[in-house]
Structure 1
Amino acid sequence: MFIKLKTGWGVIKNSLNKTSKCFLLPIALLPVAGLLRALGAIISNAGGNLEVSNIFDGLGKVVFDNLSLLFAFSVAIIFTKRKNKVETSITVFIAYFTFIVLQGLIIKETNSKQHALWFHDILDAGLVVSNLGFKQLNTSIISSLIIGAIVAVIHNKLGEIEISSKFKLFNETRLVNVIIIPLIILLSLGFLLLWPYVYKGLMALGSGIG
């Protein structure tokens, strides 16, 4: 009994350790990004070269704007058991862009400040953000963590499977990339259906606490 409990605690401890690394990797970039933006602001306020200022500001801004993508990469890479992390990264890239591109195609812009979605006639202000040129729901890093987790699970389960020679084209990582697209499409549609309600609930909770 003691051995089982000890083993169980070891698994939990390992999972918590990996989870902490998932958050630490992207967060570790924030001070550097903040410093770059601060340098850009200092140069601009001091009347320096505006182009140089914009370069520093842009280098820092790209990190803040793409934190969700960094979290997706971090979760997938850390929780994937396979040694070839490059293949995992490619799958994350495919999954993440499938998620945001689908949302960008479905979310309709009614005017410069309002968006509509299916039976959600008008979406709450702040619910829709622009990410990498696509409109998507503002889910913070929640959707990214789920995307990264799905990629890690699929890679761990199917990443080394070899099927019949007739379908050799779909062995290992290629099979993962084929399977991940419909899964992420379902995930994206699920967020489009449910997240507006979750967002309203979170806003109401925040107002109640405030």
Structure 2
Amino acid sequence: MKRHPMMWLVLLAALSGCMGKPGPAEQYLRVLGHEPECAKAGAQPTAQGKHTPVLAIRSFKTLDALDRQGVMVAEGKVMQASQRWYWEAAPGKLVEQSVVRAACGEGLSPAWPVRSTTEASLWLTGLVSDFSVHAREMSVVLIVECQLWDSSGGAVLGSGTFKARAPLPVLDAGAVADAGEKALADVAAQIARWARQSLPTVAALGGGPKAGK
């Protein structure tokens, strides 16, 4: 049966509408505040003329499944990346920058990113093993495993696992962003406090020798 040309136009318009339907809009979740001034200034002399101890923050590693900007959503034992919600950076970078901010509040001068010429009293490394939305528990969970190294960067002073769980009142972008921000701030504060308390007495007098690791 021969179709009228107008009918073909209607069919084409309908098909193009179905095929061209846009997916959900991407939403980037801001979870970091402004960088504190002490993070830009480096080690500063105290009232007694001594320099604040320097905490050098190396790049944090992330488990392969989490090493992306897409927010991971866990439903029991099944986890998948959201196609709509995205962190403003990958989890490792978010934790690094959160520790930089928290270090200032603990009387430490953060060095980040580190360079071959960086001198520090302590060196920090870490692994992000969870940073995801737990849908059943309605919370954002963050788990970070850390190691502290001496001023040479060659001897381990200690290790620890730091956790935070921030509740979600609802499962939407704004609530996930707020919970993610709280979890990052909580864990970063724990890590910075631990680093300050672990600081060797001799290192408190200033930065250690160069360590380019």
- TM-score class, shorter-chain normalisation, is 0.3 to 0.5
Greater helix proportion: 1
TM-score (norm 1): 0.34
Pick the structure with greater CA Rg: 2
Greater strand proportion: 2
Where relative contact order (Cα < 8 A, 6+ residues apart) is larger, the structure is 2
TM-score (norm 2): 0.33
